[in-house]
Structure 1
Amino acid sequence: MKRQRGYSLLEVIVAFALLALALTLLLGSLSGASRQVGQAELRSRAVLHAQSLLATTGVIEPLQQGERSGQWEEGRYHWRLQVEPYADARADAGAGALAAADTVAGPVLAQLTLQVWWGQADAQRLQWRSLRLLPANAGTLR
């Protein structure tokens, strides 16, 4: 009888073990990528909501000093907006610097600080700061 050539049982077992290891690594990287895509989608939605809120703040009704809060998408995203007069730390640091609000009766700067959070235990959080120029006839922030 001629000797038959082929794979031994040991070679087949080693090949299956290597295939199983490669598939495990591939599936692990795919699930990690899927999780990152999901987090990016949540972050993108939060950014879109925040941009919308910042764009309409002070347009529909005048800015008022203080804090407002709310939620979007039935409580999936929460936000807090704080409006306060802007104080330039560099101008206040100089000796003998004049306070602009005391000497000039012109436009006033308001600082808006918006925080948005979402996820379990509010683990994800973003924050924006923006300045708004209020006309001189608007007076000080209320």
Structure 2
Amino acid sequence: MRGYTLIEVIIAFAILALALTLLLGTLSGAARQVRWAEEAGRAALHAQSLLDQVGVGEVLQPGHSEGDFEHGRYRWTLDVAPYQDPLLPPTIARDLSAPQLLQLSLAVQWGDGDDPRRRLQLQSLRLVTPAAVAAEPPL
């Protein structure tokens, strides 16, 4: 009589179950990565849009502001401060009539909690005229 024994069939099913478990685990991890990439891409687009709008139609002033995108799904904070060159000592007097560099620090966060993988931080510099900085009140 030729055929398979019960032990061989059970071992074959166990191997098949283990292979399917590994395959489904891999697919689940890939789906998480795709979702994270989509969320990070949307956060980057929102951040780029916000940085493009800052200082357009209004005078850019040092200060702190915050808000959200997509009804609170993405939260942002923006800090604007005078730029200090790390290579120059802070005691050097600067020309008050010269244009000034402002450093923009933007943080976009999404999801729940403070997961660093769900946070995007961008920094940029903007050149402003001293008359514009002195004329308007801070944010």
Give TM-score, length-normalised by structure 2: 0.87
- Structure 2 matches for 1:97-112, cutoff 5 A? 98-99=92-93, 101=94, 103=95, 105-112=97-104
Partner of 1:127: 121
Q: In the TM superposition, what is the alpha-carbon distance from 1:109 to its structure 2 partner? A: 0.4
Moved more, 75-84 or 104-113: 104-113
Q: In the TM superposition, what is the alpha-carbon distance from 1:36 to its structure 2 partner? A: 1.1
Q: In the TM superposition, what is the alpha-carbon distance from 1:31 to its structure 2 partner? A: 0.3
Give TM-score, length-normalised by structure 1: 0.86
Partner of 1:79: 76
Q: How many residues align?
A: 134
- The runs of at least 4 aligned residues of structure 1 exceeding 3 Å deviation read 139-142
Greater RCO, 1 or 2 (C-alpha within 8 Å, sep 6+): 2
Q: 2:33 aligns with which of 33, 36, 41?
A: 36
Unaligned runs of 5+ in 2: none
Correspondence 1:45 to 2:42: yes
Q: In the TM superposition, what is the alpha-carbon distance from 1:88 to its structure 2 partner? A: 1.0
Q: What is the CA–CA distance in structure 2 between the aligned matches of 1:79 and 1:104, rounded to whole Å?
A: 32
Secondary structure in structure 1 of the residue aligned to 2:89: helix
Q: In the TM superposition, what is the alpha-carbon distance from 1:136 to its structure 2 partner? A: 5.0
Q: 1:69 aligns with which of 50, 66, 73?
A: 66
Q: In the TM superposition, what is the alpha-carbon distance from 1:73 to its structure 2 partner? A: 0.4
Identity of aligned residues (%): 54
Q: What is the CA–CA distance in structure 2 between the aligned matches of 1:10 and 1:129, rounded to whole Å?
A: 64
Cα 1:110–1:77 change in 2 (3 A) is: same
Correspondence 1:115 to 2:107: yes
Per-residue CA deviations over 1:104-133 (Å, capped at 9, x if unaligned) read 622110110101111112422221111001
